[in-house]
Amino acid sequence: MGRITSRFRRNYWLAVSRSRGRAMKLKTTVGRLCRTLVRWQERRVERESAVLWRSLNHLPSVPWIPGVEVVTMDRHHREQDLTDIYNEACAGTPGFHRAGPVQLEAFKASPYHDPKGVFLARIEGTAVGYCFARLTPGGLGKITGLAVLSGYRRRGIGRALVLSALHYLREKGATRVRLLVDPEDPAQALYESLGFSEWKPVEESQLLAALVPAGR
């Protein structure tokens, strides 16, 4: 009887170990797929968007809006609000695809994701807008998402969210920030009012002309 019990225990723990191993492999595979999806989406957006940037010197303070609080995701804890806001606020925009749990996991799987860089605007505890910020390894700050529910726009909420994100990036060590925006997105006017301007890459010929003195 003791021999049977010992064998049962050994087989049980062997099965548990194998099950955990399969679960870890599945989690790793899902993580890779999510990161691939994020990179694919980022490349698509870059092809279709204008690039804006600004220095993080001389930032305006975050405006106080009565009845509105801006919190980070590590204090909010309801992740589904992100997809709910996106689906309502961005419906009908170019390239819109309804977001769900898969897209949320892909967002969190980004190697630069930081819950403290996810800002939400709340009114009486209800999330009405968000702004995403992240710092790349090269020290460049990025604003990767901004949305406010249609019924709460033109109240300064978007401005408060973006400025909160910019202050976060500066505190993390970034000296400049860039973002991508659809040329027809009304948010471009908000970004420009906050000091963003269009990024104009330097042509190779211009760079050589600047480095090589005239006449040589």
115-156 pLDDT tens trace: 999 999 999 999 999 999 999 988 899 999 999 999 999 999
Region 28-34: what's the mean pLDDT? 57
145-199 pLDDT tens trace: 999 999 999 999 999 999 999 999 999 999 999 999 888 888 899 999 999 998 7
Least confident of 20-24, 36-40, 47-51, 84-88: 36-40
| pLDDT for position 50 | 87
Assess whether pLDDT exceeds 60 at residue 26: no
Q: Is residue 84 part of a domain?
A: yes
Q: Is residue 149 part of a domain?
A: yes
Q: Is residue 113 part of a domain?
A: yes
Assess whether pLDDT exceeds 70 at residue 2: no
Q: Is residue 206 part of a domain?
A: no
Say whether both 134 and 165 belong to one domain.
yes
> What range defines the domain where residue 22 resides?
2-48
CA dihedral 185, 144, 132, 166 (to 10 degrees): -90
Nearest Cα residue to 169 out of 198, 145, 134: 134
| pLDDT for position 184 | 81
Say whether both 179 and 140 belong to one domain.
yes
Q: Is residue 95 part of a domain?
A: yes
50-109 pLDDT tens trace: 899 999 999 999 999 999 999 999 888 789 999 999 999 999 887 788 999 988 888 888
In angstroms, what CA-CA distances link 152 with 14, 29, 68, 102, 161? 56, 39, 11, 27, 13
Say whether both 66 and 110 belong to one domain.
yes
Residue reference for tokens 């505890």? 125
Banded model confidence at residue 211, pLDDT cuts 50, 70, 90: very low
Say whether both 87 and 113 belong to one domain.
yes
Say whether both 17 and 61 belong to one domain.
no
Number of domains composing the chain: 2
Say whether both 26 and 123 belong to one domain.
no
What are the helix (H) ranges across 49-186? 73-76, 80-89, 101-108, 157-171
Assess whether pLDDT exceeds 70 at residue 203: no
Give the number of other CB atoms < 10 A from CB of residue 137. 7
Q: Is residue 33 part of a domain?
A: yes
Q: What is the CATH number of the domain that holds 143?
A: 3.40.630.30
Q: Is residue 204 part of a domain?
A: no
| pLDDT for position 107 | 85
Say whether both 166 and 95 belong to one domain.
yes
| pLDDT for position 64 | 94
